[in-house]
Structure 1
Amino acid sequence: MVEVGLSDATLRAVDRVGHELAIDVVGWDDDATPEAIPVKGLDEFVAARATQLTFGEDLVELGDADAEGFEKLGEGTQTWSLADDAHLVKVTSQLGAYLKFTGAGTLARLADGRVRLSFEHPTAVTFGYWSLVDYPEETVTVPATASGLATALSALSSAYLSLGPDRTLPGWREYPPRIAFGDETDVPDAVADAVPDTGIELVLPDEFAYGIPAAPLAYHLAADVRVADRETPELRVPEHDVVHEFPALPEFGVAANDVFQRTFYADCLVNSARGGTDLAEAEFLDDVGLDADALFDATPAERLVAYLDAPFERIRSRLPARSHVAFVEPTAEYATALGHLAHHEARVYLPSAFDAVGASADPSVTSAWLAPGTRPGTYAASPAAYENYLSHLDAGLDDGEPEVLVVGHGRDGDQEAVTAFYRHYDGLVDLSVVERRDATTADLAAALAERRAFVHVVAERTPDGGVVCADGVLDLETVEAVGARLFALDLTGASTDADAASAVARSLVDAGAVAGASRTGAVSRTAAESFVRLLVNGFGLELSRRLVDRYVDGAFDVVVAGDGTHTLQADDSVNYIPLHVVANGDGTFAVTGKAGGPTAGLFWHPDVPEVRPRLLANGLAFELSATELADFLDDEGYLVVYDDELHWSNELTPFYPVA
């Protein structure tokens, strides 16, 4: 959803979360007929005549009218003369736009960094906008059977804007449709018409559980999923007489996700080799005899056949193993989350696979437990969390800077310290901070119900799990409505186990929150402040918890529930880049960056000469002098792990003597 309007000679486009693209215009006349823009997935169109358009310091690319290739405008003052022909200009800021026009013109990078497109005569321009925030516009309803789930999995591929290897990039796929379960099958025409025919079939036994770990592979391959009276699954490419046999459950879950890793990352490497990204991992294609040029233009079926035939074991350990994992109970209640997990290209397993797969010890790997109870190293996820995030998108999220409410009773000194920390922290997100003391049960319920970014509850817990308020005890599991996106239950007094604390937190998620953290026991002041600082600097709840648990001294007995990848910035595309810095003892430093996030397929390229980009969740190592390191950290604002402790890049002194 993008709304576009002209005001005071500025054409302003705004999406559902407030992301904006502003273009200053001269000679505007909306008497123009829109032209077709050959790009799928655009959200809104505007056509008008103009003599001059000026963009901000945005990414601007010039391409041909068929959108088959774009050249990025470089930095520095320069001018390009455009011939009397059809042109397509791509502008990317907080949201994006394609501008199509026919005629001569001039494109110039100005001294202040802005870009200006000008014409000698009023020229018709069609603006096609797209939001970088994805949202599922349709819902697929199926019976809660193996066959019904297969139908839903087949429909997920309607999200693809491309069938090439570029669909590994989030910009080439939209949000898959929601999955709902009912008595009848209902696949909206918009979904059915968009499902591609790739010639790839995934045939599963007639058992609901098989569809759970099959989801990532089925989605990425855009496979036609169906069930049959058979004991083991098969991946088929009839046109090429190829059949790949899988073992039965429980081994199928691991095997299916292994093929998903193979096909997804092979597509990433092929796309980078042809797309000019120059990923360091792209050279792995030669190691397994894959031709990027041939595969880039191949069909999905042809690529799959090539990937299955390649000796992938040679490079498997050098590709990202996983960054976002989910263990999903094979029931209709939990299976509704599969579309959301597919959107992030998460790996999905059955809970019974936990002993074999486990939760990674790597703090950067987050594991969702979408099943009753909890498991060590995971967060207690909930299908409701993903829907609640979409509801916040519908409501416009925070309508400005995020608001943090600190509310509680009976711990005035602690509450004052928590409020002071939020008000005086030095971080990337501007916060609005409000405090309420001596909260009654009604006050606390109302505080949770009000729409805002974050509620931090500072109070005492009763032995049965209630929250002590000024006039009594509030049972949080009776709270019917929660308007806060995120919450922290900073409750002292009686300790509780992880299952009980997760159950309370999940109840608040079911009532409307996206995610929350809850104390189960002791939490040191240092650990608590580190957790909050990570959160307000763009790290998700679960990653913040894991980093504190790994690198910060002091007790930190905390569990996370809901969508643990969610951040205070409310942007599910935000990625984290903690740097591990080690002094070499000779005035240089070894730096290892491990960029990651909930969405696979992206890459990281630090601004360091001769360092090639690498896929997210793969480590990227390089060396810097003390001065180079100081400059690098000063520019980027990284979280740094030095001497097994967490620091921030504006805290330079602990890392090295500045030469």
Structure 2
Amino acid sequence: MSIDIDPLSEAAGLTVTDHIENTQFEVYTDRSVEPVASPEDAHYFPVDASVTVETGSIEIPRVAVVETRSGDGTLLTRGDSYAMPAGAYHVGIDPAPTKLYLSFEAPFSVSTTERTTRIDLDVAAEVTLGFRSLHQVPAGTIETPTDPESLMDAVSLLGSALQTTSPERSFPTLRGHPPLIEPGDEFRVPDRVEPLDSGVRIVVPPEYRSLYPVVSLAYYFAADVVPGDAPRIEGDGWMHSLEPDFERRTAEVLRQAFHFDCLARTEGFYPVDLHERETTDLDLDWGRLYDLPLAERLGEYLDVPFERVEPELPQWTLTTDVRPDPDNVEMLPFVAGELSIVRSPETVTPATAGEADGLGFFRGPGAGAATLGPDEFVRGAAGSELTRGAAGSEPTRGIGTEPTRGADASSERGAVPTDADFIRPEPVDTVEHAWVGAGVPLDANKATLDAYHRRLEAGAVEQSRISVLVVCNDEQMREEGEVADLYGLRDMVQFDIEVRHDLTREEMRETLESDVDFLHYIGHVDDRGMQCTDEYLDLTAADLDVGVSAFLLNACQSYQQGEALVHRGSRGGIVTLSDVANSPATQLGRIVARLMNSGFNLRTALHVAKRELITGHQYIVVGDGGTTICQSRSGAAVVVNINGEETPWNLSIEVYPNGPYGSGSLTTPNTGSDSSNYYVPGDVDLSNISDQQLGKFLNLEVLPVFTTSGLSWSDEFE
């Protein structure tokens, strides 16, 4: 079973542990309870585990919305403060780290505080609690020859994972993970992978560069992908061209159709007050559109010029560049499942040493490092006393007399292996950027297939606590070692946090093999490996089974070693492409620690860090950039921007998809000034917020907050 339900030992209630998503949360009751297993069909919606307890109340440490349905599933009401008379009810509480449903027969009331949501029954009764993991796995694996026309047949089956073709498939829990694809001599489809007849066709030339960019469309529209000359989307009686500028227009179709589905679904099972629906200036009959078949509805969506709707659209989250190579076909289901905008560049721009970008990606002999101040030093100084900064800058003094993030290697040891192909992908308009294919991308997540497979294999774990290990292998860098104090500042998640110093090679090997959720490494790395007290541990050569799930290697030139960690067992991590100066490296380490503790994934955490530190561009994510170590209290990842310096306050809140709270999730800002729902991803603008409202909002959870002075944190405001 993926979900364990146990009585709390020091309070009245239950501990719920989802071993797939690596989440844990507590449900409180008004008395001690002993859960008794109950039938899973006791609930209106499907669940993975169900228990019955006798209690007079249910409370979770999260501000949530409570949805009440009658015994036959009819939606009765939804909100955070109301009362219901006697009756038989199915109740859902959202968000929670798992889907959480209650079933009982009793009058009850719903109330919320600044930190909790509570359901009080008028009299104690039996309450059946159901939990469903938000994790989704593929129904099977399609084997296919990798020529473009055969691959089209496989891509046409990605949409078989959709649990509905209604606009509700814009909810992440109703999309399902696409079936996997792997190369084979013949085309084979598992029995559980059954095509959906949506009536949508996508016509593209039979070549990888044309097929790869439409994989997210094929999945989301459950479309048949067929060969043809002019790229287009077709339905019965309509056609929408994808020319000119093919990749741009595929991205526009995805964004526009998804946006309209989020608006139209308010006519269905979830008739919520959606901010985006209220502010749209389009004269469309959403009720009629909701009732249309998918293909007909899509045709009417695309009748609206993209230019009309573009100002209303939020910034999309992810662009993935997939090189047009048959070796990359196995990545397509993962890319589509993230609803990523996809590009397939035939050519790439090599990044060469000596480019005057000030980022110091290539710190070989004579190459530029990041521009440093007169009193700063580089952690990988190779022992020299004078190292020139970025192209055209003055020499930087003090290097070699201060601690470095690289090992004490000779000057012949450069940051970049001679056989590494560093490339500079085209810029993106999205928050996150991933790269699939050969080469080391600057400013993008180097995504790898083995890491994505581990996302699916993250099954049962023995411990229910989140384990964080901070390793500092240099006494002069122990200031950053204090990041251990920043992990575990959560009342919903239990952390085991350990700090270790000065590990030997054998101790480091044992550490990497251990079952640790997050490794924060502070020390020296070069092409000999990770420096230990006795010698180096080279992960690219060692016979090592890695148990660490995610990591930050905050050391100079750590890309190669981090990539080896992913190949040997980790899901993903943050690494450096160059020497990194000690002071900003420490700052970045502390920022990433707080963000990971707050539930951010690797890609979004680095994105936020880059807003504060230009040196953040010396870091990239390797492996699965969607990796998290815990969930945020809000579900989605949230960044607050406070505009101005005095009351009343104007806020802009950026909400990013994160883990199971993917694109299409609903969120509501708990400021007291706005009760509307917003869909994720989104930008929420709030004005005339009082000091009291701002204080209550920032007290809900630890959030990154950008002010005119830069990055701070919600728990630092009084």
Global fold match (TM > 0.5):
yes
Per-residue displacement from partner, 1:281-335 (whole Å, max 9, x unpaired)? 21465x3332111111211012111112123321213202411111112334433
Give the superposition deviation at 1:137: 4.3
* Residue from 529, 537, 562 that aligns with 1:474: 537
> 1:502 touches 1:560 (CA, 8 Å); kept in 2?
no
The corresponding residue for 2:182 is: 180
CA distance in 2, matches of 1:649, 1:282: 30
Correspondence 1:93-492 to 2 at 5 A: 93-96=96-99, 105-109=105-109, 113-116=118-121, 129-192=131-194, 195-225=195-225, 227-228=226-227, 230-238=228-236, 241-247=237-243, 251-272=245-266, 275-283=270-278, 287-352=281-346, 358-360=426-428, 365-391=431-457, 393-396=458-461, 399-407=463-471, 409=473, 411-414=474-477, 416-423=478-485, 427-428=489-490, 430-462=494-526, 464-479=527-542, 480-492=544-556
The CA distance in 2 between the partners of 1:339 and 1:139, in whole Å, is 10
2-structure distance, mates of 1:161, 1:542: 28
State the one-letter code of the partner of 1:168. Answer: S
Within the candidate set 511, 515, 526, 2:568 is matched to 511
Q: Equivalent residue of 1:508, what SS?
A: helix
Q: Does the Cα contact within 8 Å between 2:7 and 2:34 map onto a contact in 1?
A: no
Q: Which amino acid aligns with 1:213?
A: P
Greater RCO, CA 8 A, separation 6+ = 2
CA apart distance, 1:366 = 0.9
CA contact (8 A) 1:142 1:148 kept: yes
How much is the aligned-residue C-alpha RMSD, in angstroms? 3.8
Name the counterpart of 1:656. Answer: none
Contact 1:566 1:572 in 2 (8 A): no
Asked whether the 8 Å contact 1:326–1:349 carries over to 2, the reply is yes
How far the C-alpha of 1:264 sits from its partner, in A, is 1.1
Q: Which moved more, 1:167-176 or 1:7-16?
A: 7-16
Asked whether the 8 Å contact 1:538–1:567 carries over to 2, the reply is yes
Q: What is the alpha-carbon distance in structure 1 between the residues aligned to residue 574 and residue 130 of structure 2? A: 41
**Deviations, residues 153-206 of structure 1 (Å, cap 9, x unaligned):** 2222222222211110112222222222222323221222xx321111223322
Give the letter for the 1:200 counterpart.
Answer: V
Aligned to 2:371: none
CA distance in 2, matches of 1:97, 1:648: 30
What residue number does 1:532 align with? 593
| Contact 1:21 1:95 survives alignment (8 Å) | no
**1:132 Cα shift?**
2.0
Q: Name the stretch that deviates more: 518-527 or 14-23.
A: 14-23
Mapped partners of 1:220, 1:110: distance in 2: 36
- Match of 1:157, SS? helix
Distance 2:202 2:633 in 1: 30
How far is the alpha carbon of 1:74 from its aligned partner?
A: 4.8
Contact 1:2 1:130 in 2 (8 A): no
Distance across 2 between alignment mates of 1:553 and 1:65: 56
- 258-267 or 571-580, which moves further after superposition? 571-580
Q: For structure 2, which runs of at least 5 residues remain unmatched after alignment?
A: 112-116, 350-423
1:26 Cα offset (Å): 9.7
Q: 1:100 to 1:106 in 2, by over 3 A?
A: closer
Q: CA deviation at 1:146?
A: 1.7
Equivalent pairs counted in the alignment come to 615
**8 Å CA contact retained: 1:552, 1:645:** no
* Alignment CA distance shift 1:357-1:557 (3 Å): closer
Question: 1:233 is matched by which residue type in structure 2?
Answer: P
**How much identity, in percent, do the aligned residues show?**
25
Q: For the residues of structure 2 that align with 1:313 and 1:546, how far apart are their CA atoms?
A: 28
> 2:521 is paired with a residue of what secondary structure?
strand
Report the 3-state secondary structure (helix = DSSP H, G, I; strand = E; otherwise coil) of the residue aligned with 2:196: coil
**Structure 1 residues 436, 98: closer, same or farther in 2, change over 3 A?**
closer
Tell which deviates more after alignment, 259-268 or 340-349. 340-349
Structure 2 Cα separation of the partners of residues 374 and 307 of structure 1: 39
What secondary structure does 1:478 align onto?
coil
CA distance in 2, matches of 1:54, 1:158: 40
TM-score by length of 2: 0.76
Shift of 1:234: 2.9
Task: Report the alpha carbon displacement of residue 144 of structure 1 after superposing the two structures with TM.
Answer: 1.6
8 Å Cα contact 2:551/2:572 also seen in 1: yes
Could you state the TM-score of these two structures normalised by the residue count of structure 1?
0.82
Distance 1:613 1:7 in 2: 34
Matching of residues 626-641 of structure 1 within 5 Å:
626-641=691-706
SS in 2 for 1:388: helix
> What one-letter code is carried by the residue in structure 1 that aligns with 2:157?
A
Give me the whole-angstrom Cα distance separating, in 1, the residues matched to 2:331 and 2:122.
Answer: 45
Kindly indicate which of the two structures has a greater share of residues assigned to helix: 1
